[in-house]
Amino acid sequence: MTSLNDRRVVVTGIGLISPLGCGIESNWSGLMEGRSGIGPITRFDTSGYATQIAGEVRDFHPEDFIPKKELRKMDPFLQLALGAARLGFEDARLTVDGGVAHRAGVIMGCGLGGLHTIEEYHRVLLDAGPRKMSPFFIPMLIGNMASGLISIYHGCKGPNLSIQTACAAGTHAVGQAYHMIRQGLADIMATGGVESTVTPLAVSGFNAMRALSTRNDDPQKASRPFDLNRDGFVLGEGGAVLILEESRIALERGARIYAEVIGFGLSGDAFHMAAPAPDGEGAVRCMQNALDDADIKPEEVDYINAHGTSTDLNDKYETQAIKTVFGEQARRLAISSTKSMTGHLLGAAGGLEAAYTVLTLHRQFIPPTINYETPDPDCDLDYVPNKARPANPRVALSNSFGFGGTNGSLVFRKWNGR
């Protein structure tokens, strides 16, 4: 084993299922085309709902990844987790066998868990009584089962954790997995986020908060981060799994390396259940902590994949926070919100956006913020409006900020080949 001071962490596999598609190429082509994955909700009758649009996953076939007899035991969020994990392990060309099993772990982020299952079996209980409840009801809905099933299906016997920190969960999962490898607690980690909450309860609940866009007549333009006419976020769903490895182990097995993870920062706003701290004070400390952990200066960062939810206060305060942390460098940064194309995947957002950030470094193209039409005086940075941009980013940051004032930032660096 390498010494703790020498342990570097690299990304060797990416598994993606999102409103833009299933797999790396469909997601990347969607980002480069500036294609929106938002459309009318098809899962339930939205008559009477203020919001009738979402970013649904449309081309994922769980029976391609999971034995049919097992599917009925799994909430849709678990199916997405296993699908993304298999895509990630296949992309990494990695099989966890007996020789490495005890050094391979899983950490997944999730916000709300098995909401489909809760809604379905609440109806069963009311209509048919307690004797009709499934024995799999509890295992189907608990958030930690995403990590649990990934470890079972892939034989990972190392650390097994689940993180439920709302919209920052995926970022926190990747960050904790990175630190576990750095600290010598594991050599391989499957990590990311998953969420499937396009359900009546979720939509009506977020509508009650007045958090969702109601631009039902033009779904593809509803998610518009940093634009003056933004009116709320668009609910999305999906799963993303990154395979992280200790760099020397990855190199010894001849793995393809996408990028290096070099920093992780956290903070708490200690301010409000749902609103961000004024002027992005918590986000400032979070990004600064990530830069300190990476041991880099603000001027070394080239790109930020912003949290960018398309809500009034988040976009305004994240912009202010970037200005505070980066000073004059803020106006030279390329910043984009890929939520403009995918919607907000809640607990899966940080995992998906971490993967997009890694691909940005690997492929040297910056995704756009689509639907940016009317500048907001409070949001006056370079948000890469509407068209992808060729570039040469070396270091990138990915931000996630969640309800309860929980914040996470990840720092990635282009792999230099050694």
DSSP conformational letter for 277: P
Measured distance CA(231)–CA(337) in Å, rounded: 15
CA–CA dist 17, 255 (Å, integer): 22
pLDDT higher than threshold 50 for residue 1:
no
292 and 221 fall within a common domain = no
- Using an 8 Å Cβ cutoff, are 150 and 243 in contact? no
> Three-state SS for 39?
strand
| pLDDT at residue 417 in the model | 78
User: CA 72 to CA 69: how far, in whole Å?
Assistant: 7
Pairs from 201-204 (Cβ < 8 Å, separation ≥ 24): 201/115, 201/118, 201/119, 202/112, 202/115, 202/235, 203/41, 203/46, 203/49, 203/51, 203/54, 203/235, 204/49
Alpha-carbon distance 261 to 269, whole Å? 25
User: What's residue 2's pLDDT?
Assistant: 52
Q: Are residues 274 and 362 in the same domain?
A: yes
pTM higher than the cut 0.95: yes
Residue whose entry in the numeric block shows the structure tokens 């797999």: 23
Residues 331 and 210 in one domain: no
Using the predicted structure, report yes or no on whether residue 3 has a pLDDT greater than 80.
Answer: no
Q: Which residues pair with 244 in a beta bridge?
A: 11, 189
- 257 occurs within a structural domain: no
**Residue 68 — φ and ψ, nearest 5°?**
-60, -35
Q: Tokens 């089962």 — which residue?
A: 145
pLDDT by residue (tens digit) across 161-192?
A: 999 999 999 999 999 999 999 999 999 999 99
Give pLDDT tens digits for 295-317: 999 999 999 999 999 999 999 99
Residue 328 DSSP class? G
Same domain, 244 and 354: no
- Percent of the chain residues past pLDDT 70, beyond the cut: 99
The DSSP secondary-structure symbol of 23 reads S
Phi, psi for residue 106 in degrees, rounded to 5: -140, 130
Residue 53 lies in a domain: yes
* Host domain of residue 29: 7-252
Considering the domain boundaries, does residue 121 fall inside one?
A: yes
Q: Are residues 238 and 302 in the same domain?
A: no
**Domain at 379, CATH number:** 3.40.47.10
3-class secondary-structure state, position 5: helix
Pair 174, 82 in one domain? yes
Residue range 35-61, pLDDT digits in tens: 999 999 999 999 999 999 999 999 999
Residue 297 tokens, joined: 């200066």
> Domain boundary residue among 252, 278, 310?
252
Return d(Cα 188, Cα 165) in angstroms, integer.
23
Using CA of residue 263, residue 170, residue 359, residue 389, what is the dihedral sign?
negative
The answer to the question of residue 258 being in a domain is: no
Domain ends where: 228, 252, 276? 252
Do 157 and 280 fall into the same domain? no
Of 206, 227, 252, the residue at which a domain comes to its end is 252
pLDDT tens digits, one per residue of 376-407: 999 999 999 999 999 999 999 999 999 999 99
- Rounded distance, CA 417 to CA 256, Å? 10
Could you tell me if 152 and 95 lie in one domain?
Answer: yes
Query: Where in the sequence numbering do the catalytic residues fall?
Result: 167, 307, 344
155 shares its domain with 246? yes
